[in-house]
Chains A and B, each alone.
Chain A
Amino acid sequence: MSSPAPAPLRIGCAAGFSGDRTDAAGPVVDALVAAGGPSFLIFETLAERTLALAQLARRVDPDRGYEPLLDELLRPVLARCLANGIRIVSNFGAANPRGAARRIAALAAELGVAAPRIAVVEGDDVGAAEQRPLLREALRGSADLEAVVSTMVCANAYLGADAIADALLAGADIVVTGRVADPSLTVGPALAHFGWRRDDWDRLARATMAGHLLECGAQVTGGYYADPGYKDVPGLARVGYPIAEIDADGHCTIAKPPGTGGRIDAHTVKEQLLYEVHDPAAYLTPDVVADLSEARVVELGPDRVRVEGVRGHPRPATLKVNVFCERGWLAEGEISYAGPRAEARARLAADVLRERLGALAPLRVDLIGVASILGDDAGAYLSARAPGEGRDVRLRVAALHADKATAERLAREVTALYTCGPAGGGGVRTALRQRLSTHSCFVPRDGVTARFAMMGTA
């Protein structure tokens, strides 16, 4: 008689970006507690741009720079996770992992629970002066190297799972990171739990794809999927967030908490499996090169899908670094026209703005309700469409300018359409936002030192 398979490792994901629902974790934690066995809760809250915004926030206030919704995300579930041995791993440290760790320690104290062991993972920040030569070398060949260096807001390497796993093996209840590759939030717990070798490429690749499926939260459970009449999703308003059951070989089954809305089937899983993938034979992460070209998905039953056939190859010799730079100001303005000849009036308003502002900056024009987001900044898509009879059209214009005052003027010109533009325009909204540009490059792995530190419990 064969012995029963060991209990799987369960990893639930309760956030897929900064700004995700803050009530997602409750049902996930309920399900993890009910299942028993080893389990983790992860929050992925650090999109490309989020970290640069966090860095700007930290400039204003050195205590900030971590996930602004940290309290809202953790408060509902922190005590229950700690009481049930559910460990938490998240990149919500953003630009200030130590600040986040201090806040979590304070939150635990407020909740009256025993102080958790909190580890921070550091080393992703490669923007310091002593690493400038490394960055310059990596950016060599980019035309605007000096401009990039002089306007840099931050530079962060995508760290892998090793330091997360090390922190967990050292006994951390909570691991707070800055920039790590999103799937590494899942690979770290799997590495620590199963004790795989760190060159066990197939298992690392399978766990990486489990992490890839989890990292956008509800995007694998029916979120971002529904298309009425074609792709129907029950209970979308209470969509459940995913739980991956990972076996000792790294294979995963995607499930969600009972009683929640959403849908998990072969199709929802395939969509997310290919999300943000380029060559499926070489999905690059700091941990492994995953090959999903032969992957299969198997529907095991209602809302349960297993992924098989993922293989791995040795990890890349370099780490990806994103450099963010200040890039002036984005000015946007909108005004609506409705009723007879609305589209003609909106088009005239666009012509007025082009004539008055065209010399200041390239102006993007959208006619929302006629042609907008499928179009291009240069306007080829819009100009290829003959004027029509749109009866509910919102004009939007956008432009970028290095000078804030000029950008403000661009936005004001839209407001002036109230009295100076075509008849019947209403509902003006304008916005001015600081713009950041991204430059990606690659640095040698040994130029970056990922490490963890266990925070004091005082």
Chain B
Amino acid sequence: MTSRTVPLYRAAHGRTGDKGNRSNISVIAWHPALWPLLVEQVTEARVAAQFAHRRPSRVTRHLLPNLEAMNFVLDDVLDGGVNDALNLDSHGKALAFLLLDLDITVPEALARHLVGAEPDSFPPEPWRHA
């Protein structure tokens, strides 16, 4: 079966939250069919590598299968957090987009569930706004 490599943001979306020196980043599948790929490929090790320059002391992945979502908790990645970091973005609010820049491999049979490629691939549900 052929497959293609795409940025994670075509298969999932997410948001960063912060408390103290700890960041959490959600990764939410755009479609249930893509969820197993996320579980298999978006691992603690790959996320830790993507954030290596932030020197996480620990990366923990929590799975929420009912939501087709995972929650990454990255310890000690905010240079002290909102009140201590010298970063303009001391909350680390932009970090979700660093995670969503990971690559994932998607079988061609599932490629129709990716967003951002074909103009008619989103929005899928009839009641969504045009």
Which residues of B pack against A, CB within 8 Å? 9-10, 13-15, 17-20, 22, 24, 26, 28, 30, 53-55, 62, 64, 66-67, 69, 71, 73, 79-89, 94-95, 97-98, 115-116, 122-123, 125, 127-130
Contacts and interface: CB of A to CB of B under 8 A. Distances in A.
A301 B63 CA distance: 27
Given A275-B26, A280-B71, A230 B13 contact: yes
A294 B22 CA distance: 24
Interface in A310-340: 324, 327, 330
Interface residues of A, number: 60
28 contacts: A230-B116, A232-B122, A234-B129, A263-B128, A267-B13, A270-B28, A271-B13, A271-B28, A273-B67, A274-B15, A274-B28, A276-B17, A276-B18, A277-B17, A277-B24, A277-B71, A278-B73, A293-B64, A295-B66, A295-B67, A296-B66, A372-B88, A373-B94, A377-B86, A380-B53, A398-B87, A400-B86, A438-B81
Given A274-B17, A376-B55, A377-B79, 4 more contacts: A276-B24, A277-B24, A279-B62, A376-B53
Nearest to A224: B15
Interface string A357-385: 00000101010000011111110110010
A438 B13 contact: no
Contacts of B94: 373-374
Interface string A289-309: 000111111010110000001
B83 A327 contact: yes
A437 B71 contact: no
Contacts of A265: 125, 128
B26 A373 contact: no
A231 interface: yes
A297 B67 contact: yes
A440 B81 CA distance: 12
Majority SS at the chain B contact face: loop
B50 to A, nearest CB: 10
Contact of A398 (B28, B66, B86): B86
A438 B83 contact: yes
A49 interface: yes
A234 B129 CA distance: 7
B85 to A, nearest CB: 6
Contacts of A281: 62
Given A270-B67, A295-B67, A372-B88, A275 B83 contact: no
Contact of B22 (A267, A278, A364): A278
Given A48-B82, A275-B15, A299 B24 contact: no
Contacts of A49: 82-83
Contact of B66 (A232, A294, A299): A294
Nearest to B119: A229
Contacts of B13: 227, 230-231, 267, 271
A39 interface: no
A396 interface: yes
A297 to B, nearest CB: 7
A230 B53 contact: no
B19 A276 contact: yes
Contacts of A373: 87-89, 94
Given A438-B20, A440-B20, A230 B115 contact: yes
A294 B28 CA distance: 15
A278 B26 CA distance: 10
Interface in A34-89: 48-49
Given A374-B95, A374-B98, A296 B84 contact: no
Contacts of B81: 438
Nearest to B54: A376
A341 interface: no
A399 interface: yes
A280 B64 contact: yes
Interface centre among B18, B24, B67, B71 (most CB of A within 10 A): B67
4 tightest A-B CB contacts, nearest first: A276-B17, A364-B86, A373-B89, A274-B26
Given A274-B26, A276-B19, A280-B71, A327 B87 contact: no
Contacts of B122: 230, 232
A48 B20 CA distance: 9
B67 A299 contact: no
Given A230-B13, A374-B98, A376-B79, A301 B127 contact: yes
Contacts of B26: 270-271, 274-275
A28 B111 CA distance: 40
